[in-house]
Structure 1
Amino acid sequence: MDYDIRDIGLAEKGRLRAEWAEREMPVLRTIKERFAKEKPLEGIKLAGCLHITAETANLAHTLAAAGADLTLCASNPLSTQDDIAAHLVESGIPIFAIKDEDEKTYFDHMSATVDTGPQITMDDGADVVAMLHKDKTHLLKDVIGGMEETTTGVIRLKALHGEGKLAYPIVAVNDSQTKHMFDNRYGTGQSSLDGIIRATNLLITGKTVVTIGYGWCGKGFAMRAKGMGAHTIVCEVDPVKALEAVMDGHQVMSMDEACKLGDIFLTVTGGMKAVDGKHFENMKDGAVVANSGHFNIEINVKALEEMSEAKREVRDFVDEYTLEDGRKVFLLAQGRLINLGAAEGHPPSVMDMSFANQALAGEYIMKNHSKLDPGVYTLPEAVDTDIASIKLGAMGMSYDVLTKEQDVYLNSWEVGT
């Protein structure tokens, strides 16, 4: 088996961490038990580009139980947990991922994964899809479908499809409610703060925390920061989302204003240069800047480097930039995903639902790919409902069911006041 990881000797530590995460993933466990009996992906080559974490290990085991011939690489140079990579290799799953790999190694690993000739792709940011459509088009003929995990990736896929170039159907797992409403809001909210605190050991209470972007991820982070006693500011380009942030109790202003006030900044926009050179010029001495958007282009790191006289690493994942006037700006995790660079990513109980959607999307593709034209699809609402139902049951919660009379009323027009 071909693979490239840091140290196979870390496998036992990774196995224990994967087992710990599995305790909080009852939905995926239920799916795995069924998949082990039915083998819906028997013999299918599946190439995945995901964060190699303890939670991802449980998804990998679920897909392997379904019969998939699975190969994985990292979807971010800093997000790999080396012990998990070792555990998966020892389990018989080829992994091409090393924490803090350089950019060349990152793309070499992705290339090795794609070269396995996948029939199904599984992406976290659409990098595998992009590589297939730009550099390895000869492999497209064998691909029957794919899955995409992130908001950023879905945006890229829709752009590719809009140009008429997307070669196969892809399920936008991110668009399922049991993914984006929970993973993005509660997962990103907690794990981003976790990453900032682990990297800096700063007290959040009393700090002015600026959230740049108020989608589901921004909502979760701003809510958690406010709950920890921060003075919260939100920056947005969408007036409707900006208004929502006001109603949620946050100050709202332009980044040109907020850059002068913030102690801690987090970008979650999906766009580029949300923090730019002009913002660094006006930041307080000691400002901390981090990113939880998928790619590291949300912070203009190049501009920061060009306007700095000195740079040094003062803590793990904390780079101190000294500007010409002596002010210092601290950049976390090189501007890459702070929650996976400096911490462990989303808690397993949240990824339980996200990865349940991934696993079921693979099954959906197998059953329906012959009927699907190239395009971006959402899983049926019934899948969302099933995942939520299993999750509630595992939490010891119950919910009401409509009577036949109530159901008829809600789906008819005849009965009025």
Structure 2
Amino acid sequence: MTMVSESIVKDMSLAPSGHLKIDWVKEHMPVLNRIRERFEKEKPFAGLKVAISLHLEAKTAYLAKVIQAGGAEVTITGSNPLSTQDDVCAALVEDGIRVFAKYNPAPAEYKEHLIKTLETRPDLIIDDGGDLVTILHSERRDLLAQIRGGAEETTTGILRLKALEKEGKLEFPMVAVNDAFCKYLFDNRYGTGQSVWDGINRTTNLVVAGKTVVVVGYGWCGKGVAMRAKGLGAKVIVTEVDAIKAVEAYMDGFEVMPMSEAAKHGDYFVTVTGNRDVIRKEHFEVMKDGAILSNAGHFDVEVNKVELEALSKSKRTVRKDIEEFVMTDGRKLYLLAEGRLVNLAAGDGHPAEIMDMTFALQAVSLEYVNKNYQSIGKRVLNVPYELDEMVARYKLEALGIGIDKLTEEQKAYLDSWVE
């Protein structure tokens, strides 16, 4: 019962519900199951401590159990206050994993959970948004010495890591899992595309067909959100700061314009940039009555909530995860999930089959760092292609799909400079 006494969770009596959720996703994560089988035999993390900060729901819980099956002592916390599921936390504690997480903690409590996770003195970390890395490189440098390295889940986290690396301040190697093919092609595009609209639709219970959706940012997540909006029957406008991505959005069939213009037309707004204040005062001032604002970037800074509230004469919660802001001219703007990740704060996140590939990458990337941390150096590195390709191959095998192989003659032809 050590993990129960050490953990901080809301209510251990919720564990049965959490076990059911974890059992469900396990049945739909064949790639991770295959990796777990190998981990159980080889124990690549035997004697090591692993700290995880991710959106703490069932799919993440199963990743933690796979790492545990590899011999690790695992401690986990949430990476977003509104995405933590209390029943899943309780279930993990019963399974021998230390948990510091509750749904919707106060900001100080949320920070405390992150620090307590690091105070277990892990050898390896899995991070989401760079919270663990930032704490280790600032206020808790005393915990750095034992860290061998880790893996990062998100675009936002990788931006922070590369900033550290550029300044020569990164103290251990980190694998940029977000930049792997099996992450951004499937998780960012198809996972975000589906889960964002799952969250918006279940929260608002309003029709999308015929409406105008403004997608702010046309990276892989933006591509997925725009594609799914189009499939739901919406007219889609894309805003961008990158000329190449703007041309791509145009050729994908979407309208492209600056936010100053798009703000006048949108019924729904979805931000997916990883940057701050991409929807702000001058945009709120010209939006239509009833416009719905949501964010799918890691931090709740993309929609400027301070300026939104300053422009309003009243604010109230009108439905679970929907705040209504009444402007001084009577227009009403609606913000979903406090401007946090709408697909997780107001939904269940990406589908299990999608996270199967992403979390398989996390597991094998962590194994790779552990084997090679002494030679890698203090830098941000990409997922080795052979690991990326292995995850794709496992996925195809799980789907019962076969593909061709090059003949020896074809290999020789491709390696030759003569015809």
Shorter chain as denominator, the TM-score bin is: over 0.9
Does residue 328 of the first structure (1) align with residue 332 of the second (2)?
Answer: yes
CA offsets per residue over residues 314-369 of structure 1, 9 Å max, x none? 00000000011110000000000000011000001000000001000111011101
Provide the residue aligned with 1:205 in structure 2.
209
Provide the residue aligned with 1:370 in structure 2.
374
Does residue 355 of the first structure (1) align with residue 359 of the second (2)?
Answer: yes
Provide the residue aligned with 2:318 in structure 1.
314
Aligned pairs for 1:15-34 (under 5 A) are 15-34=19-38
Deviation of the 1:380 alpha carbon: 1.2
Instruction: Give, in whole Å, the separation in 1 of the partners of 2:276 and 2:186.
Output: 24
**Which consecutive residues of structure 2, in runs of 5 or more, have no partner in the other structure?**
none
Match of residue 168, structure 1, among 168, 172, 176: 172
Contact 1:288/1:332 (<8 A) preserved: yes
Provide the residue aligned with 2:407 in structure 1.
403
Instruction: Give, in whole Å, the separation in 2 of the partners of 1:130 and 1:314.
Output: 36
Deviation of the 1:176 alpha carbon: 1.0
Provide the residue aligned with 2:129 in structure 1.
125
Contact 1:260/1:284 (<8 A) preserved: yes
Aligned pairs for 1:174-213 (under 5 A) are 174-213=178-217
Match of residue 72, structure 1, among 76, 82, 93: 76
Instruction: Give, in whole Å, the separation in 1 of the partners of 2:313 and 2:9.
Output: 36
Aligned pairs for 1:14-413 (under 5 A) are 14-413=18-417
Alignment: residue pair count:
415
**Which consecutive residues of structure 1, in runs of 5 or more, have no partner in the other structure?**
none
Question: What one-letter code is carried by the residue in structure 2 that aligns with 1:241?
Answer: K
Q: Report % sequence identity.
A: 52
Instruction: Give, in whole Å, the separation in 2 of the partners of 1:99 and 1:283.
Output: 32
| 1:297 alignment partner, SS class | coil
Instruction: Give, in whole Å, the separation in 2 of the partners of 1:314 and 1:405.
Output: 67
Question: What one-letter code is carried by the residue in structure 1 that aligns with 2:364?
Answer: L
Question: What one-letter code is carried by the residue in structure 1 that aligns with 2:97?
Answer: I
CA offsets per residue over residues 106-150 of structure 1, 9 Å max, x none? 101101101111111110001100000001101111111111010
Contact 1:204/1:228 (<8 A) preserved: yes
Instruction: Give, in whole Å, the separation in 1 of the partners of 2:303 and 2:414.
Output: 48
CA offsets per residue over residues 40-84 of structure 1, 9 Å max, x none? 001111111100111111101100000111101110011111111
CA offsets per residue over residues 226-257 of structure 1, 9 Å max, x none? 01100000000001000100111111100000
Instruction: Give, in whole Å, the separation in 2 of the partners of 1:102 and 1:308.
Output: 25
Instruction: Give, in whole Å, the separation in 2 of the partners of 1:317 and 1:101.
Output: 16
CA offsets per residue over residues 362-409 of structure 1, 9 Å max, x none? 110111011111000112111111110110111111111111111111
Structure 1 runs of 4+ aligned residues shifted over 3 Å read none
Contact 1:41/1:362 (<8 A) preserved: no
Instruction: Give, in whole Å, the separation in 2 of the partners of 1:122 and 1:43.
Output: 17
